[in-house]
Amino acid sequence: MKIALINENSQADKNKLIFNELESEAKKVGHTVDNYGMYCASQEHQLTYVKCGLLASILLTTKAVDFVITGCGTGQGAMLACNSFPNVLCGHVTDAVDAYIFGQVNDGNAIAMPFAQNFGWGAEINLRYTFEKLFSEKFGGGYPKDRVVPEQRNKKILDEIKKVTYKPLLEILKEMDQTFLKETIDYPEFKELFFKNSKDNEISEYLSEVIEG
């Protein structure tokens, strides 16, 4: 599984710490991590939590990645932004218990974490255990295990509902503020990672036009 890490500007200085803990745990189970930044708060290209949500949708819709780790000060804004776009099922995860239950019950493809609230002494330990439990078992296995059948059924129902409650991403990209879209994607790391991994030529071509326009 390919995982993307996306940090918004208010917590960008923690990117290295988060990436190191994430990559360490992901490697143990054969996953890889692409770091889409931000890498520090002073970076010229700024990502807000709304931009993180848009990026998550672009990456997941085009199958450039399989899973997204993002967040903000509380994690709430990033979660709301992610779930505002199609093809993202994002949970608010604060610790290892949240991570395990989200993966087993909700079987989503993104999590939003608080990188300021309660992020103090031992924060790196909480990150480590959270990522460890998130990837400890195949998603959708159920919790408690005797609830797996109804939980999987509800997940399938939700997936089908989301297909009719969201417009296709390409349509959204074309209708949204093009300045905002370009501000979101026009930075070196996105262009380097996205265009070599995207499996949706139509979206890739459109985003390339936006960047060049």
Question: Strand 110-114 relative to strand 67-72: parallel, antiparallel, unpaired?
Answer: parallel
Burial, 37: exposed, middle or buried (Cβ in 10 Å; 0-12, 13-18, 19+)? buried
DSSP letter string, 71-138: EESSSHHHHHHHHTSTT--EEE--SHHHHHHIIIII--SEEEEESSTT--TTHHHHHHHHHHHHTSS-
Cis geometry, peptide bond prior to residue 144 (ω within 30 degrees of 0): yes
Q: What is the pLDDT of residues 66-90, one digit of tens each?
A: 999 999 999 999 999 999 999 999 9
Any residues with CB less than 8 A from the CB of 195 and at least 6 apart, and which? Answer: 204, 208
- What is the residue type of 174? K
Alpha-carbon distance of 136 to 209, in angstroms, equals 40
Q: What is the DSSP letter of 65?
A: -
Residue segments in the chain with a per-residue pLDDT below the cut of 70: none
Q: What is the DSSP letter of 30?
A: T
> 98 is in which domain, residue-wise?
2-212
What CATH number is associated with residue 48?
Answer: 3.40.1400.10
Both tokens of 6, joined, read: 């996306």
Structurally, the chain folds into a number of domains equal to: 1
Q: What is the pTM of this model?
A: 0.97
| Cα-based distances in Å from 59 to 34, 204, 207 | 11, 10, 12
Q: What is the pLDDT of residue 13?
A: 97
Q: What is the pLDDT of residue 213?
A: 86
Q: What is the pLDDT of residues 111-127, one digit of tens each?
A: 999 999 999 999 999 99
Q: What is the pLDDT of residue 140?
A: 97
Average pLDDT over the chain reads 97
Q: What is the pLDDT of residue 211?
A: 97
